Amino acid sequence: MTPCGERGSALVAALGVLSVMTILATMSLMAGGADLAISARQARERSVFYAAESALETAMEELASGSAAIPEESFHAPWPAPGIAARRWQDGPWACSRRICLIPDVGDADGDPATTAVLFDRSFGHAASPLQRGGFPLVQLLVSVEGGGSRQTVVAEVAPVTCATAIAAAWTAAGPLELSGDIRIAGTAEIPAVAGRSPVQLSGGAVIDGASAIDPLMPLPTDVLQLLNAGGTLPRLDDLPEPPAGGAMRGLFWSRGDYSGPLDGEGILVVHNPAFDPVKHEASRMAIEEGILVEGRDPLYSHLDPSRQPARLGVVAGGSFSGVIIADVVGDATTAFSLTGGLVTLIRSPLVVAASSRLRISGSRAATVGAGRGSMSFLTDFRPVATVPGRMNQCPVIR
């Protein structure tokens, strides 16, 4: 028989245990709920970040296609604001917006108080004055994405590629050049029609309209591909894609072998075999065919090696191209073709080009500048930057 004073003691203990278990269960549920909330928030943040990256790519494509073209006057002093209206669009559940502007040089970022906009100086930095290097203004893209209670802003600074502005002539030839047939090479007041290491031989109606610059010490072809060195936007020629299989070209392309496709379009086209060395190729030819040893002779390099043959630009599909073409060799022109800008041939061995159809090369400094930059048409890279107010607030507010 239980004494009266001990009645209900087991119930007290049981209630205590139940209370402790209830507290532990509640704490576990609270912890689980917190983990679930954190996980859900992280998932939303990842989703909105990926959506912002996608929206930034859309804004980049706008610049590349010219649908959000930067006015030409914005690329020159005093670098007026481009005045591009902010744009909004819906991408599934995400509300996207973008704005584009130049970055005012309020803090003298480039070390030159005369510049009112931050300029690109080929190293994608602002430490040195780009006026010493012919820089163009940086363009800021600010993209915002909002949805599902989350918001993400991405800021990127982009720069126009300025890699094709230093052509020597309408046709720059690294070696002896002989032209025959319906060929006309035209220079301008700024640039000669032909620049080469030796005089050009003309026959069959070929005409040079303009001055010829002859320099036996011309540093071609060793340095010519440096025309395409665009600093941070194009660190390596290897980054250039092959020309498109069909349609018009628009951009920068590199054919590693012979190319005889359509030549309609604008931009920069490189037709160059990486294994072909013009200096060693000519030294090998002279040693084997003429018995003359010249500087640059490499016994391990043979101009007869099939893998070392120059890449040939075949003018068989015709068309009209604006910009720069750099080719190891140009073949005979069997269909009408016109180039406005500049042509560079790299081979040092004698080059004979015959045209049975109309071949026109017209020098144009404006076309070569446009090939390397245009209205942001040939943008190749960008770098995201921190979304700090000092830089974000440079663009007009999206309303």
Q: 262 and 214 in one domain?
A: yes
The answer as to whether 4 is a domain residue is no
Number of domains in the chain: 2
The answer as to whether 24 is a domain residue is no
Q: 175 and 155 in one domain?
A: no
Residue 120: which domain range?
A: 52-162+378-392
CA nearest 281: which of 333, 324, 233, 345?
Answer: 345
Q: What is the reported pLDDT for 127?
A: 38
The answer as to whether 9 is a domain residue is no
What DSSP assignment string belongs to 240-285? SPPPPSSS-EEEEEEESS-B-S---EEEEEEE--TT--HHHHHHHH
Q: 198 and 75 in one domain?
A: no
Q: 322 and 236 in one domain?
A: yes
Q: 176 and 146 in one domain?
A: no
What DSSP assignment string belongs to 346-363? ---S-EEEEEEEEEEEEE
C-alpha 152, offset from chain centre: 27
Whole-structure pTM value? 0.64
Q: 151 and 67 in one domain?
A: yes
Using the structure block, give the residue that is written with the tokens 């052509």.
167
Q: 147 and 69 in one domain?
A: yes
State pLDDT tens for residues 350-387.
999 999 999 999 999 888 877 765 445 444 445 555 44
The answer as to whether 346 is a domain residue is yes
Q: 327 and 262 in one domain?
A: yes
Q: Annotate 321-333 with b (16+ C-beta within 10 A) or e (fewer).
A: bbbbbbbbbbbbb
The answer as to whether 111 is a domain residue is yes
Q: What is the reported pLDDT for 95?
A: 93
Q: What is the reported pLDDT for 139?
A: 81
Q: 323 and 253 in one domain?
A: yes
Q: How many residues does the chain have?
A: 399
Q: 157 and 100 in one domain?
A: yes
Q: 332 and 361 in one domain?
A: yes
Task: Return the C-alpha torsion angle 10, 16, 20, 22, nearest 10.
Answer: 90
Q: What is the reported pLDDT for 322?
A: 93
Residues of the chain with pLDDT under 70: 1-17, 20, 25, 27-41, 64-66, 109-112, 120-136, 159-166, 220-239, 372-399
Let me know: does 272 contact 311? Beta carbons within 8 Å: yes
Report the 10 Å Cβ neighbour count for 213.
16
Q: What is the reported pLDDT for 103?
A: 80
Q: What is the reported pLDDT for 132?
A: 35
Q: What is the reported pLDDT for 38?
A: 63
Q: What is the reported pLDDT for 173?
A: 93
Q: 253 and 124 in one domain?
A: no
Q: What residues contact residue 62 under an 8 Å CB cut-off, 6+ apart?
A: 68, 87, 98
CA nearest 233: which of 250, 254, 252, 255?
Answer: 252
Phi-psi region of 153 (alpha: psi -120 to 50; beta: other; left: phi over 0): beta
The answer as to whether 19 is a domain residue is no
